[in-house]
Amino acid sequence: MARLSKRAKENEKLRPSEPLDLPQAVSALKKFKGPKFDQTVEVCLHLNVDPRQADQIVRGSTSLPKGIGKSKRVIAFCSDDQVQACKDAGAIEAGGEELVQKIEKGWMDFDVAIASPDMMRVIAKLGRTLGPRGLMPSPKAGTVTKDVAEAVREYAAGKVEYRTDKSGNVHAVAGKMSFADGDLVENLQHFIQTIEKARPSAVKGQYIRKIAISGTMTPSVIVRHDEGA
d(CA 127, CA 120): 10
Of 71, 69, 6, 74, the residue nearest 39 (C-alpha): 69
What does the pLDDT read at residue 1?
Answer: 43
Highest mean pLDDT (candidates 22-26, 121-125, 217-221):
22-26
Question: Tens digits of per-residue pLDDT, 133-191?
Answer: 889 999 888 899 999 999 999 888 878 889 999 999 999 999 999 999 999 999 999 99
Structural domains in the chain, CATH included, are 18-67+160-223 (3.30.190.20), 74-156 (3.40.50.790)
Residue 173: strand pairing partners: 42
pLDDT confidence band for 227 (50 / 70 / 90)? confident
What does the pLDDT read at residue 4?
Answer: 61
pLDDT confidence band for 15 (50 / 70 / 90)? confident
Higher pLDDT, 81 or 8: 81
Q: Are 73 and 99 in contact (CB under 8 A)?
A: no
Number of C-beta neighbours around residue 5 at 10 A: 9
Q: Are 89 and 155 in contact (CB under 8 A)?
A: no
Which runs of consecutive H residues, i.e. helices, occur in the chain? Answer: 6-14, 22-31, 83-88, 97-104, 120-123, 127-130, 148-156, 181-197
What does the pLDDT read at residue 16?
Answer: 85
